[in-house]
Structure 1
């Protein structure tokens, strides 16, 4: 009751936020209208349309192997919450799958979406629990599964009224395919019936089976700082400047719309900073290159001399270390990898990753590693061997879902 009251009470404020978000992220009119539950394309009725919801870029990447396995034989509709998620879908699949933005959790919006898009089943990637969406799917006899399921500890610490809404929602779910036993236990603690919860492992391990290859996008050796967040760029760039290394430092922020703020921080330190969105290119004298474009990480992973994973030197929880591991790269993270505990444990158990306690530690770790090609190769091969142990993941998911 409290949840239903709040989403109605705050609806004018939510509309303003959606409009602001559209302007900030260049989502356009479709983003606003579809998030508000309006103007969905009328998709043709088919015997089976699998609706896969991916909140944003990370979830799209997690679901990519699953979508690729099904795109030629099934009708696929992918929903996202963000324009960057939509862009990722477009880059990966062109017109092979349909895309819409997920409506906000208003009953009229969800019903309008279902009437137009006509899904026959719904797969939620990872973590989103929307009480009205789950309830209305059950009312329309649309089976709902949570795949690659995970829950943050803060979800378990939500107010009692919200936890009750979550519990009621989980009773409407047909299957929860969790990525670890820890996550399975969290779903059960939140109220999921134990018999619907199965531990299958992290779907991101399946990316090893379809890793793309591309030519080297940089003219010289480089170190990659991937998926960085606020303050990481500045602090890591300061360490890099002090090292006076011959390699180029390439920074790819997690959110490219932060580019202007990053430029303001870095230009005083690096007058020779080159910026991709300004069509600038690094040369032999460039110290730092800011690649603020979407969907450019994979070729950069493939050819980097070493990868520093962002989101781990701040209170974010890290980002996907499996992608550079598929390219057999030496990987360094910070101390905060709380969103990837199992992945870290897997790579650490195979001596395939280096975790440092703070940014300052990079000044001691980077020089010997960059000077030792053999050690970098050993780290990369160990990381690759670790994820090879998980090769059955994709088929395990397909067996459960189809």
Structure 2
């Protein structure tokens, strides 16, 4: 907390400093393709809000030049940080709308991958940005109704560029279901689903990735009847594996004969990134609560890349069809081409706003 109240950082560079802020790991992963492009022109100072993100971000140094937690949203803390780093611009991902941060920073400000909710704070602060690059035309129109300068390029989550690496997991022989970003409130759904699926498929593995590592012990206790083991144990005889390592979910999806995305199987969460399995040409199964990822849902369903299920039994029927090969990933779908259009749009508007040549 002290480092946020009294930020301290030394920046030594001949390049102009670009302050880039992400809330946590998810927003950072979404920003990676943009960060790589901007790093060619700027010294990237990356800030983050979630304390859990630090360990992961320290291993991602190819995407930035300096790392610091976000200063507390107080005039003194923000002002102290600004004097130390002297940025030429501030870029913020998604919905990190901190009042004093946005009011006190007087250089160019850009909000990326933005979506509008219509809150009082949003209406007040959106006008402070020199540019807001939105996910949808609807978001663009809403920001414009607040008096903000905005454009629409699509959802950056479609641009799933990741470094090339193999993340292996040793599992017993059989079919595998990878369930990502699961919350405690969704465990009953997953347990019932896996029980029914195990009745249909004799040798069935379940790789379960909690949304928050702090909940791993709870997951292990709740799954005790399935005799789970932790990913970090490196055991090879477990049918049910709870992943207790950070930053691996994207790569683990490739091991699934079926992939499911959490945050969508219980009320109050709104869904997580439905596209990560798609990047590995895996069909995506998700639940009925997807209010935060409606654009991703619409895309996935319209292209035949996944299924929305409303009950455990419906999930079992869909999963059975996928695992048995009755349905498969569309052979002609090109996510890379679609993603390139979105990335190019973002970079065009960012370069224009920041007056970057080339």
TM-score (norm 1): 0.80
Matched, 1:365 2:330: no
Could you tell me which residue of structure 1 aligns to residue 347 of structure 2?
398
Q: 1:265 offset after TM fit, Å?
A: 1.1
Could you tell me which residue of structure 1 aligns to residue 235 of structure 2?
281
Could you tell me which residue of structure 2 aligns to residue 56 of structure 1?
24
**Matched residues in 1 for 2:312 and 2:29: separation?**
27
Q: 1:94 offset after TM fit, Å?
A: 5.2
**Matched residues in 2 for 1:259 and 1:185: separation?**
41
**Matched residues in 1 for 2:346 and 2:62: separation?**
24
Which of 223, 244, 260 aligns to 2:217? It is: 260
Whether the 8 Å CA contact 2:94–2:114 is kept in 1: the answer is yes
Cα 1:33/1:192, change in 2 over 3 Å:
farther
Structure number having the greater helix percentage? 1
Could you tell me which residue of structure 1 aligns to residue 264 of structure 2?
312
Matched, 1:180 2:136: yes
Could you tell me which residue of structure 1 aligns to residue 338 of structure 2?
389
Q: 1:252 offset after TM fit, Å?
A: 0.4
Could you tell me which residue of structure 1 aligns to residue 356 of structure 2?
none
**Matched residues in 1 for 2:207 and 2:344: separation?**
36
**Matched residues in 2 for 1:97 and 1:47: separation?**
11
Matched, 1:218 2:170: yes
Which of 180, 184, 202 aligns to 1:230? It is: 184
Could you tell me which residue of structure 2 aligns to residue 354 of structure 1?
307
Could you tell me which residue of structure 1 aligns to residue 3 of structure 2?
34
Q: 1:353 offset after TM fit, Å?
A: 1.1
Matched, 1:131 2:99: yes
Q: 1:187 offset after TM fit, Å?
A: 2.2
**Matched residues in 2 for 1:292 and 1:346: separation?**
31
Which of 275, 298, 308 aligns to 1:322? It is: 275
What are the within-5 Å matches in structure 2 for residues 73-112 of structure 1? 73-93=41-61, 96-112=64-80
Cα 1:95/1:54, change in 2 over 3 Å:
closer
Matched, 1:250 2:250: no
Whether the 8 Å CA contact 1:347–1:386 is kept in 2: the answer is no
Q: Deviations over 1:245-290 (max 9, x none)?
A: 31210000110111111122111x21x211124x25241xx33110
**Matched residues in 1 for 2:140 and 2:311: separation?**
31
Q: 1:45 offset after TM fit, Å?
A: 5.7
SS of corresponding position for 1:226: strand
Count residues with an aligned counterpart.
Answer: 345
SS of corresponding position for 1:335: coil
SS of corresponding position for 1:289: strand
**Matched residues in 1 for 2:168 and 2:101: separation?**
44
TM-score (norm 2): 0.89
Q: Deviations over 1:178-213 (max 9, x none)?
A: 011122233234x233xx1101111222225x4634
Q: Deviations over 1:35-87 (max 9, x none)?
A: 3x214212126451111111111110110111122334421111110123333
Could you tell me which residue of structure 2 aligns to residue 148 of structure 1?
113
Whether the 8 Å CA contact 2:15–2:42 is kept in 1: the answer is no
Q: Which runs of 5+ in 2 are unaligned?
A: 352-358
Could you tell me which residue of structure 2 aligns to residue 10 of structure 1?
none
What are the within-5 Å matches in structure 2 for residues 337-352 of structure 1? 337-352=290-305
Whether the 8 Å CA contact 2:279–2:335 is kept in 1: the answer is no
Cα 1:110/1:215, change in 2 over 3 Å:
closer
Q: Which runs of 5+ in 1 are unaligned?
A: 1-31
